[in-house]
Structures are given as structure tokens and as C-alpha cells.
Amino acid sequence: MGAGRFAPSPSGELHLGNLRTAVLAWLFAKSTNREFLMRIEDLDRARAGAEAIQLGDLSALGLTWDGPITRQSQRLPLYASAVSQLRDRDRLYECFCTRRDIAEAASAPHAAPGTYPGTCRNLTESERAAKRELRPAAWRLRTQKDTFTVTDVLHGQYTGTVDDFVVLRSDGVPAYNLAVVVDDAAQGIDQVVRGDDLLSSAPRQGYLAGVLGHEPPTYAHVQLALNSAGKRLAKRDGSVTLGQLANEGTVAAAARTLILNSLGLPAESLDAALAAFDPARLPTHPWVFTTDREGAHGMRIPPENR
């Protein structure tokens, strides 16, 4: 039996779009008889108290998870082992490019948008030694193909660019693309549900999984929640977190009702939603949530639940 997961970064409160994705990840996992795991991706930004708030909000919606919660900050030896494996196979090289260097290379004629052009790929040892005197190096994967195809339940076979991406940052912190692949493989996660803004990164991660000897997971990149301006929902848009809604008298059950209504699912309970869940019938457009507390299609939180 495989597993699905939800993996928030503890940088702040989850907004309704994040919570909607968590509900979808739970529905996908449970509808396919998978375990549902919780992983905290705290390698980068971690705000004090944010993890407890996030887990409390997920529980308030009625979500439960299987097994203990894992945290990336406690899994550094796993990432170091993967980096060592890749180095031993000559699949990594040092990169000394600054963000400005990469931006200027990306704007050059014939450059592929959003890809690393391989500036440091073939440096000589003397050139690398000279650059080490100036700045620490990041480590990039030496890829052997330009594209990779992943399977997505909602998008079909998706083929995207695979460039020489960073797996270990210059500050020694494992990059997201490495950590997420190592974690998913180690935890037996074969189903990844997340926002469709991350679809373009899936080919890189699927490719790296294969390089490390793992089967890439099946993906489901779900529609995002947007504000009335058509941009990704954020805390600055007003009452979009459970904490903000609670301050206005809206209970978590009403927020769950709003989320399930936005998915076209029965809203009386998560179990009822699970019984009716069919990925093929999910909305194919983003959920627009407005600050007057109307959701997509003009749905309002019932007054009795406020």
C-alpha cells in the first residue's frame, strides 16, 4: 500500500487555498486506499509557533493523518547520503553563479526560459579553485536529458524541461528538489497532490527520483485558490485563514463547508465528501475567493455557521 501526503512549510498560517489543497490530498489518498502522511518542510523558513497553528487548523477541519509527523530538519543524514551517492557517480558539479549571473544568462539570445544554461558545468579544476576563493559553491545535478515526462491524474502525461538544477545550496542546505524526492521515496509516497503552480517542477523531481533509483510518484496538481484580482490567495487578501475567520465569528466547520462546496462535494462531513469524490469531476478552473466571503459561483458562508 502506498501513501499520499501533505507537506506544508511552517512559515506562517495556512490560508484557505492551502487548506483546500490539504483536503484534496486527504481525499485523493483515502479514495485510493493509501495512507495519508504529514510532513513539515522546515529546511528553509520556520516561524516560531507556525507548525502548531497549521496542525491545529488541519485538525479543526477534521483531517487526520497516519503515523508520526516527520520534519525535514530531522532528516539531514538522508539528504547527505543522497548527495554523496550522486557525487560518487560524478552526477554533481560545483556552481559559482550568482542570481544575477543566472538572470543575465537567461536573458541572452536563444536561452531557454527558466533554465540553467550550464555555465559552470565544464569548468576546469583550476577554474573551480579560483572561483572557490571568491564564493562558496552550490552543487548542481549533471543531467543527461533535456526533458522528462511524469504522470498526472488531472493533466495526463506532462513533459517538462529538466536542466542542471541545484540539489545542495551554497549555504550547505539541501535544495527543495532534492529533499522532497528523498523524503517521498523514503516514506513510500507514490501519490503527490499539490497546487498546479508546482506542475513545472515535477519533471525535474521525477527525473531525480529515477537517477536515485526510485520510481517517480503519480501526481495530481490541483487548481489554486485565487483572489478577486486573479492572483494567488494570500493572507494580505483579508479573512483567508482560520484564525482570521474565527476572529469574525466563523467556525472551522463553516470554512470546511466552503471548501467542500468549492469542490462540488457534499459538505455535511469529510466522510460524505469522500464517498462522492471523483477526480474526474473536480472543477477545472481556479477557485476565486473574494474578501466579501463569497467563494466561486457566489457561495456564501451560511449565517448560522458564522
pLDDT in tens, the chain (306 residues): 799 999 999 999 999 999 999 999 999 999 999 999 999 999 987 788 999 999 999 999 999 999 999 999 999 999 999 999 999 999 999 999 998 888 877 666 555 667 899 999 999 999 999 999 999 999 999 999 999 999 999 999 999 999 999 999 999 999 999 999 999 999 999 999 999 999 999 999 999 999 999 999 999 999 999 998 888 887 777 779 999 999 888 899 999 999 999 999 999 999 999 999 999 999 999 999 875 544 433 333 333 333
- Burial bucket for residue 100 (CB in 10 Å: 0-12, 13-18, 19+): exposed
The residue among 221, 243, 261 that closes a domain is 221
Share of the chain above pLDDT 90, in %: 80
Q: Do both 194 and 129 map to the same domain?
A: yes
Which residues share a beta bridge with 151? 157
Q: Do both 119 and 149 map to the same domain?
A: yes
Quote the cell numbers at residue 252: 472551522
Annotated binding-site residue? 104 = no
Annotated binding-site residue? 41 = yes
Q: Do both 86 and 35 map to the same domain?
A: no
Which pLDDT tens digit goes with each residue over 185-238? 999 999 999 999 999 999 999 999 999 999 999 999 999 999 988 888 877 777
Coil, helix or strand for 249? coil
Q: Do both 84 and 215 map to the same domain?
A: yes
Annotated binding-site residue? 97 = yes
Annotated binding-site residue? 28 = no
Q: Do both 50 and 178 map to the same domain?
A: no
Q: Do both 103 and 176 map to the same domain?
A: yes
Q: Do both 86 and 15 map to the same domain?
A: no
Range of the domain at 235: 3-73+223-305
- The C-alpha atoms of residue 255 and residue 251 are separated, in whole angstroms, by 7
Q: Do both 21 and 93 map to the same domain?
A: no
Annotated binding-site residue? 116 = yes
Q: Do both 87 and 67 map to the same domain?
A: no
The residue among 221, 249, 270 that closes a domain is 221
Q: Do both 174 and 201 map to the same domain?
A: yes
The candidate with the shortest Cα–Cα distance to 67, out of 167, 186, 153, is 186
Domain count, the chain: 2
Q: Do both 113 and 126 map to the same domain?
A: yes
Q: What is the pLDDT of residue 115?
A: 85
Annotated binding-site residue? 296 = no
Q: What is the pLDDT of residue 197?
A: 94
Q: Do both 202 and 246 map to the same domain?
A: no
Cα of 306 vs its chain's centroid, Å:
31
Coil, helix or strand for 278? coil
Tell me, what amino acid is at 125?
Answer: E
The residue among 175, 196, 221 that closes a domain is 221
Annotated binding-site residue? 9 = yes
- Burial bucket for residue 157 (CB in 10 Å: 0-12, 13-18, 19+): exposed
**CATH code of the domain covering residue 9:** 3.40.50.620
Annotated binding-site residue? 219 = no
Annotated binding-site residue? 236 = no
Annotated binding-site residue? 289 = no
Annotated binding-site residue? 95 = yes
